[in-house]
Chains A and B, each alone.
Chain A
Amino acid sequence: MEHVMDKVKVGIADLNVVRQPQKISTSGLGSCVGLVLYDEQQVLAGLVHVMLPDSSLSRTEVTKPGKFADTGINALIKLMEEKGSIKCNLKAKMAGGAQMFNLASKNENMRIGHKNIVAIEKILTHESIPILSKDVGGHKGRSIEFDTDTNLLKIRTVYEGVTYI
């Protein structure tokens, strides 16, 4: 007997897909971005927890595609297509990409949140997937959960409570 969890949690640099009535979530997004792709026809939703904007930053073989915006989005679209989605039916919602600390170093990693957002938007434009709503940037951590019944993305922050986009 197959037991279907009502909620699937996606870890950092990971990705997964759920079907209605399951929910999909990820927690503790800082500079990382949680990108949800969903398909209303198939009532499918996928989530990828992106850490870095591009797989060219990787100095080793990429073993976790969800870590990077480019490989993560590709892998997520592929997984959703395997489950019956057609790319032109996909829509996107996203949250995250904050800057948690005002770092002093000249380190490029400081603005990694912003770079993640820009990279994801560029790829989605290229793939012709519309972004219906987003809550990005700022200086706050976010936990998100996507509901396949309502297609709403629930966003929880420490100081501002819960919002839906």
Chain B
Amino acid sequence: MTELSKFSQIHLDLLKEIGNIGAGNATTALSNLLNTPIHMNVPVVNIVSFDDAMNLAGGAEEVQAALLVEFEGEFSGNVFFLISPENADQFVQMLTQDPNQSLLSDDNDIAISAFLELGNILTGSYLRALSDFISANLYQLVPNAAIDMVGALISQGLIETSTVSDQVILIETVLSSDQLDDEIKGHFFLLPDPGAFHRIFELLGVQ
């Protein structure tokens, strides 16, 4: 099933539920790791053009810290976690217990590896929940971090989709915390590769 327009409301609701379970698990893991309450909103499933995908992530030129984790197994795809560099620093400082750590500093090796570890835990729990829910064997590859323009980052996740479609399904969940000095907001994007949807619905017993 590559024609995204053929998806019905049931399909979209199922994808929303996948986002819900994945991000819910990730939120709990993050909350435990940082020992602070973290909230998540109800996931939104959007079938959008590539340009609109960038806009949903804040605009093509917006600078964000991104974690990208590819997954393989019964189907493949990418999980992105996007957060502003300032917000990411707050997580990094909590994790390292060092208020001077910053992803934007010249000497950011420790900050980057803390951010990657965060990504490992977040996306790992996201994918674990996802594979449990649909009983599919999925495994994640080594996470990758980059801080740059959103358009440049997200387009990496669109390449596979772009060979079959001009649109992409984004399963988006926003995390937030009001327990910290500034409000923290992070975006999860699940981008299954085009062939994945057919397999997901098959596993869930939906035509």
List residues of chain A with CB under 8 Å of any chain B CB.
11-14, 27-32, 51-52, 57-60, 63-64, 67, 98, 100-105, 107, 109, 112, 139-143, 158
Q: Are B156 and A104 in contact (CB under 8 A)?
A: no
Nearest-neighbour CB distance to chain A for B151, whole angstroms, equals 2
Q: Are A141 and B70 in contact (CB under 8 A)?
A: no
Q: Which residue, B2, B72, B166, has most C-beta atoms of chain A within 10 A?
A: B166
Complex: how many Å from CA A28 to CA B152? 5
Count of interface residues, chain B, beta-carbon cutoff 8 Å = 32
What B residues does A140 contact at CB under 8 A? 148, 152
Complex: how many Å from CA A120 to CA B165? 22
Q: Which residue, B70, B148, B164, has most C-beta atoms of chain A within 10 A?
A: B148
Q: Are A31 and B50 in contact (CB under 8 A)?
A: no
* Secondary structure dominating the interface of B: mixed
What A residues does B63 contact at CB under 8 A? 158
Complex: how many Å from CA A12 to CA B48? 13
Complex: how many Å from CA A56 to CA B200? 27
Nearest-neighbour CB distance to chain A for B76, whole angstroms, equals 8
What A residues does B51 contact at CB under 8 A? 11-12, 14
Q: Are A101 and B156 in contact (CB under 8 A)?
A: yes
Q: Are A28 and B166 in contact (CB under 8 A)?
A: no
| Binary interface encoding of chain B residues 138-154 relative to chain A, with 1 for a CB under 8 A from any of its CBs, else 0 | 00011010111111110
Q: Are A12 and B54 in contact (CB under 8 A)?
A: yes
Q: Are B159 and A12 in contact (CB under 8 A)?
A: no
Task: A11-B49, A11-B51 given; name 10 further pairs at CB < 8 Å.
Answer: A27-B60, A29-B151, A30-B153, A30-B155, A31-B159, A52-B163, A98-B152, A103-B156, A104-B144, A141-B148
List residues of chain B with CB under 8 Å of any chain A CB.
2, 49-51, 54, 60-61, 63, 68, 70, 72, 141-142, 144, 146-153, 155-156, 158-160, 162-166
Give 18 CB contacts A-B under 8 Å. A12-B158, A28-B60, A28-B151, A28-B152, A28-B155, A29-B152, A30-B149, A30-B155, A30-B156, A31-B152, A51-B158, A57-B163, A64-B166, A67-B166, A101-B146, A101-B156, A104-B141, A140-B152
What B residues does A112 contact at CB under 8 A? 159
**A-B pairs, 10 with minimum CB distance:** A28-B151, A141-B152, A28-B60, A30-B152, A141-B149, A101-B144, A104-B141, A141-B148, A11-B51, A27-B60
Complex: how many Å from CA A71 to CA B158? 19
Complex: how many Å from CA A109 to CA B153? 14
Q: Are A100 and B164 in contact (CB under 8 A)?
A: no
Q: Are B70 and A103 in contact (CB under 8 A)?
A: yes
Known: A141-B152, A143-B149. A105 touches B162 (CB 8 A): no
Complex: how many Å from CA A103 to CA B78? 11
Identity of the chain A residue whose Cβ is nearest the Cβ of B153 in the assembled complex: A100
Nearest-neighbour CB distance to chain B for A101, whole angstroms, equals 4
Nearest-neighbour CB distance to chain A for B50, whole angstroms, equals 5
Known: A104-B141, A158-B63. A28 touches B149 (CB 8 A): yes
Q: Which residue, B68, B147, B162, has most C-beta atoms of chain A within 10 A?
A: B162
Q: Are A28 and B163 in contact (CB under 8 A)?
A: no
Q: Are B150 and A52 in contact (CB under 8 A)?
A: no
Q: Are B152 and A105 in contact (CB under 8 A)?
A: no
Known: A101-B146, A102-B144, A104-B141. A13 touches B152 (CB 8 A): no
